[in-house]
Structure 1
Amino acid sequence: MLKLEGVTKKFGGLVAVNGVDLNIHKGEILGLVGPNGAGKTTLLNLISGIYRPDKGSIQYCGEDISRLSMDRICRKGIAKTFQHTLSFPGLTARESVMIGSLFGNGHHASMDEASTEAETLLGRIGFPIERIDMPLSSLNVFELRRTQLARALASRPKIIL
């Protein structure tokens, strides 16, 4: 499903990711473990299209996605949550999740469908429904993480990073 071959990323003289080979098959759950600065986040940013590899290739379902934009990768079915949880501080939790429904993985929901799906997903992952229409800037870190996960799920991904 996802295959990395010789993936390398440098920032100036710093080699952040060096020659990574990785195969992830459908149904697998994989964790990346390592100390700060080991390149875990950089690797996920390479897969999701935030960065482009300097060397190597990233293939998804047999297609080279190494040079695709982040939004094209998302539409193909790869969603990413972020270390920093406050990505859209002016939006509510519901609106943030609706972004995934409206713009992710080839799914074209109406605003009403996206709103209903956001409420369903947030409820399913334990988000306090009475806070669904609160601005993200007023939520605690656990609620923000749940919002990110629900937004990723709303895009109907095949892979969540």
Structure 2
Amino acid sequence: MGVSGSGKTTIGRLLAEGLGAAFVDADDLHPDTNRAKMSAGVPLTDDDRWPWLESVGRVIRDETLAGGSIVACSALKRAYRDRIAAAADDDVSFIHLTGSTATISARMQERPGHFMPPALLTSQLETLEPLEPQERGATFANVGDPREVVSRIRDLL
């Protein structure tokens, strides 16, 4: 989990590869209406997100039954993570990837054509609710070599 540009896809793919698990990018589960809003620089509302978050949870549940998965998803608010976990039958742990605003912004600038424009980073940072102590998961700074970040995550698993 984390804001756009925090490295969820890069780290998620590497982690899934190392664990022999399936990888799913929750961005691929967004309906076209959500993608259109974000592409136009309009932040999503909670009403836009609820069906998408439930889809994410169902994919996690189905992939868990098939052997497990790593899913890259923003899941910025506690309520979003709770919705995902409920739809996944509560078998979810979250890895929150962080980084400086400058680093994340630079990553977003390096991916032209992505539906999430860099202009929405501020709204994502304002929306972000870090993991709370009672949530299953951990926070990792995504700095340096992505394989080293994955190694630190795997050491915790």
TM-score computed with the length of structure 2 as normaliser: 0.27
1 or 2, which has the higher strand percentage?
1
1 or 2, which has the higher helix percentage?
2
Considering only CA atoms, is the larger Rg found in Structure 1 or Structure 2? 1
TM-score computed with the length of structure 1 as normaliser: 0.27
- Greater RCO (CA < 8 Å, at least 6 residues apart): 2
